[in-house]
Chain A
Amino acid sequence: MRAYDHPGTSLLTDNLPGLSPRVEQLRSGALDSEGEFHQWYSLWAESLAATEGEPLTIRRGKAFAHLLEQMDLVLPSGALIVGRHPKTVLDEAEADRTRSAWHDLANPPDASELHYQEEGLFRASVILLHIAPNTREILEHGLGGLCRKIRSSLETAEDGGDFLRGALICAEAAQRFIGRYAELAEREAAEESHPQREAELREIAENCRRIASDPPDSFWAGLQLVWFIYLLVNLEAGASIGQSGPGCLDRWLIDHYHRDVEEGRLTPARALELLECLFVEMNASLPRDGILPLAIGGLGADGEGAENELTSLCLRAVAELRLLHPSLALRVHRRMPPELLRAALLSIGSGNSYPALFNDEVCVPSLRRSGVSEEDSLEWVHSICTELTAVGKTYAWIAAPYLNLAKCLELALNHGRCMLTDRQLGPDLGDLTTYSDFEELYAAYLDQVSHVMGEGVAAAGRNKQQAKERTPYPFLACLTADCIERGRDYTDGGARYQPDYVQGIGLSTVADSLAAMRRFMFDGGEIPPEKLLAAMKSDFVGSEALRQRLLNRAPKFGNDDDYADEIYVRLVEDLYREVNGRTDGVGGVCFPGFMTWESHNLLGKGTGASADGRRARAALSDSVGAVQGMDRLGLTALLRSVTKADFVPSVGGVTFNVKAAPDLFQNEGMLGRLEAALRAYFDAGGFQVQVNVLSRDVLAAARDQPELHRNLIVRVGGFSAYFVELDRGIQQEIIARTMHQ
């Protein structure tokens, strides 16, 4: 990698003041705030009750407008970035009443019907968003520009008039909402006794006044606009916000930053404080289970890095604040200044879980391959986990569905029947005892995948149809190319890209299961198929020795062992083949991925015992990683195993979790080794990696549940040992040591 002098990276280490007292105060205020987002339900319902009989898109537009007109405004003392989703305190019964009143009127897509299949075949989500809005356009043309665009489309619209009228209601409501904050800031300024704060409040008011219709004229105002648009897009979607990202902050605002710094209106320290104020607002407005993805850095149009000063400041702000949001991702590539990767690792080593590292040299081609244009592919967001979408241009259905690959294998082994309920879920192609060789078994597995995928994609299509019929998104449509131009809603074919991500779940569970059957049955006949099938159907009760053998003596993916890894690679490629060319019947085109989120747990609960020795109902393997605890040869072997597969086609996302011992962050030499390992992984085509510092909790869990943690290695010079094989006293010693590091 070429090291070169980059203007932005000095900001990673420059002596800037730490968290200012203002940010400290805002931070603790945000963390301590009590209550829930009840107001949203009552205001939304109030409006819906008053608009019965009108077109749905108009009703939703009016509900959005009503919310923005009536919602409490919050301007905490010292805040520089304003706009907060207000929390109120209600007793539980009252809160329930409010929510169900809203539910009766809103008739949202019905999760219970299609969301989850008891037998764990698949899960088809009904959650929208998982995108970032096209705030770039608002930064360039202002909300006034947006309104003009909608009006001009309205003039020429042949159909879609209702949609465009709904969109205009939303856009104008957004303008007025920002205006309300301008007025509030002015009122507070008039009452403010401290001259410096008064000046700040006046500038906040001025910022809001301007960006209510015009493009921002400063970094501060730009940041404010990015936040308002994010907040508003999420408020249209529901009370529990936090299923989308704010977009490419560092790229979009760098010109504002440079101009302000050159003109002496802004210092790096102030820019850092503003970013920190923004991040604090995120934490005040999002529920704890929300996720706010922010991807920074990455490749630019010229093939060079697009990293800049704001990339560095975002990294620094996240490291200083140590808050839940945003979920930061660094877009790594070969020409990225090395200081950024180092700063990212230091942040992780200090106990932050962020940033996640994405390989832009895989991610950008991945988007291109899914039909995203060259220009659009450069601005992406890991929409909330690791699924990639082009910012501001995408209607993504990110789990269409979560498809349980391990269940497909279960069906292939058992006449298409569920091992837990004995229900017929797939075609009867035989069972484990009827396949004469490995290829027959494998072909039966693929047939089941094909069958289940057909059902799962159709379920996703029905969900999408529901969303289209019940929840148009006229405001999000304003922030998504090319809805206004096409005169079509976000859920109705307006978006430029409409990918459905079919996520394969339990990849390594299947790879290890197939490898075990191949080794013990088809290669040597050591284990009779009847015996294995019966053992799996009875969840290994009475067959523990057999289960231990499967766990300990079969080839396992993640150890650079081609026997298992080749099966893994084959599974990946066959999933691609199975997904490609499918459509959902509602305008979406299917693309593959392995993003798991919590599906490996949920789908695992519906899955019978598997031939890798996994007990019935236990979790499946996570995304593209090895089965829990089965990567026993250390990081390099695991990284090599994973990069044997080509993940460029997995635009639906790849999540690769790596646990790193705290020693790896201890000194320069160790950090350099970790960094080198990750670079080699990316050079070999790694998609993404989430580095987690091995915590005391993990070690304690390993002490108590050794079976799931056989991969933990304790290293000292000239010696290493598996943690689970050490005696308890020494385990305690290591746990205690880890706590202090």
Chain B
Amino acid sequence: MRIWITDIQRFSLHDGPGIRTTVFFQGCPLRCLWCHNPECLAAGPKLRYTESRCMGCGSCVTLCEHSCHPMTESGHVLDRSRCQACGRCAAECPTGALGLIGEQRTPEEIIEIVARDRPFYDASGGGVTLSGGEPLAQVRGARALLRLAQARGIHTAVETCGYAEWRRIAPLLDLVDLWLYDVKHLDPGVHQEFTGVPNRRIIANLERLLAAGAAVILRIPLIPGHNDGDDFFTLLSQWLAKHDSIGEVHLMPYNRLARSKYAGLGLPYPLGDAESLPSTLLAARRAALERTGRIVRVGG
């Protein structure tokens, strides 16, 4: 069994308790406008090109069988229309301006890397976090990896959008120590509008997880103009009032860091020139949630 992943990121500090290693899965059923891991949306390799690192050596020009790398008067250009993401150019690019993101690794390979930071998990109460993308999109791989982690006594967390059939989630219940569960909006129409899917299944799954006694931290990406308004926060307060077992909420304020990633993948940035969330609004939202008796963290 192999899992499509983009990265195994050590010393992760915001994806669950303690020091963690985060495994980024590929594939996601949602298409959120603000997605900051666009390389994780679909499974499979993607060519990343960081123009500022290109020295114009031309090694890719001769290597590429699909003529994706024409040299012009102003230097190297990438023609993505022909690119098959074969990675031949990336393997030889001396500066790393070209890189292939997305690879298949077995759960055994992944856990060997994860286990290297064992002393740091033990000292900090950390562990492994499956993120993405959507780990549930490769649920068999996720399950195998979680099993291996559990067998080694490594704390497990899954960061999920919750959009999956319950029969995919249920078998993970005993393997996941902590769910980092994204809620983007509680209004089905609005949710559909900027994630591409309705939220009924997401909320239902969340409620079933809670009913099953799973440990859940709610994560709310806070996106200016999309879910930072009173309408969502009123609904959220009402919903939280009925779900005492949620003890902790993370507000993940929108940031523009991912812009460079879109450029590197040759994708348009869907949020355009959206500004960061005003700090006063963030503080107000935080305070409102704290009044519901929850621990609220900004940024995880």
Contacts and interface: CB of A to CB of B under 8 A. Distances in A.
A716 B221 CA distance: 12
B124 interface: yes
Interface string B93-131: 011100000000000000000001101101111100001
B236 interface: no
Interface in B140-192: 159
Contacts of B122: 680
A720 B129 CA distance: 14
Nearest to A714: B257
Given A717-B299, A718-B36, A720-B9, A548 B252 contact: no
A719 B257 CA distance: 9
B19 A676 contact: yes
A716 B257 contact: yes
Interface string B57-91: 10100000000000000000000000000000000
Contact of B120 (A548, A553, A680, A718): A680
A721 interface: yes
A552 interface: yes
A717 B34 CA distance: 14
B259 A636 contact: no
B256 A733 contact: yes
A637, A672, A677: which has the most chain B beta carbons within 10 Å?
Answer: A677
Given A718-B15, A718-B252, A730 B116 contact: no
A203 interface: no
B10, B50, B219: which has the most chain A beta carbons within 10 Å?
Answer: B10
B11 A636 contact: yes
A549 B92 CA distance: 8
Given A552-B95, A716-B299, A677 B120 contact: yes
Contacts of A719: 36-37, 257-258
Contacts of B53: 706, 725
B11 A716 contact: no
B285 interface: no
Given A637-B10, A676-B18, A715-B14, A683 B259 contact: no
Contact of A718 (B57, B116, B119, B300): B300
Contacts of A714: 257
Contact of A544 (B37, B55, B264): B55
Interface string B241-259: 0000000001010011111
Given A669-B297, A716-B299, A717-B300, A636 B258 contact: no
A361 to B, nearest CB: 15
A721 B260 contact: yes
Nearest to A552: B96
A549, A636, A664, A670: which has the most chain B beta carbons within 10 Å?
Answer: A636
Interface in A556-591: 560
B12 interface: yes
A548 B250 contact: no
A24 B274 CA distance: 47
Interface string A659-678: 00001100001101100110
A718 B14 contact: yes
B2 interface: no
Contacts of B94: 545-549, 552-553
B123 A636 contact: no
Nearest to A638: B11
A715 B257 CA distance: 10
B261 interface: yes
Interface in A633-690: 633-637, 639-640, 663-664, 669-670, 672-673, 676-677, 679-680, 683-684
A726 interface: yes
B10 A634 contact: yes
A14 interface: no
A686 to B, nearest CB: 11
Given A720-B9, A721-B261, A672 B299 contact: no
B259 A730 contact: yes
Nearest to B129: A718
B63 to A, nearest CB: 13
A7 to B, nearest CB: 26
B22, B96, B124: which has the most chain A beta carbons within 10 Å?
Answer: B124
Contact of A677 (B15, B124, B131): B124
A721 B262 CA distance: 12
Interface in B1-32: 9-15, 18-19, 22
Contact of A548 (B12, B55, B264): B55
A105 B122 CA distance: 63
Contact of B11 (A544, A635, A672, A679): A635
Contacts of B281: none
Contacts of B123: 676-677, 679-680, 683
A548 B14 contact: no
A733 B276 CA distance: 11
A3 B258 CA distance: 42
Contact of A637 (B11, B55, B95, B256): B11
Nearest to A682: B123
Contacts of B59: 545
Interface in A12-62: none
A438 B12 CA distance: 37
B219 to A, nearest CB: 8
Nearest to A1: B123
A673 B15 contact: no
A263 interface: no
Interface string A55-89: 00000000000000000000000000000000000
A289 interface: no
Nearest to A715: B13
Given A552-B96, A677-B120, A670 B50 contact: no
22 contacts: A544-B57, A545-B59, A552-B95, A633-B10, A634-B9, A637-B117, A640-B117, A672-B18, A676-B120, A677-B120, A679-B123, A680-B120, A680-B124, A683-B119, A715-B13, A715-B14, A716-B257, A717-B15, A717-B252, A718-B300, A719-B257, A727-B259
Interface of B: 9-15, 18-19, 22, 36-37, 50, 52-53, 55, 57, 59, 94-96, 116-117, 119-120, 122-126, 131, 159, 219, 250, 252, 255-261, 263-264, 297, 299-300
Given A635-B11, A677-B120, A706-B52, 12 more contacts: A545-B94, A637-B117, A640-B117, A669-B297, A677-B19, A677-B123, A677-B124, A715-B14, A718-B15, A718-B36, A727-B260, A730-B259
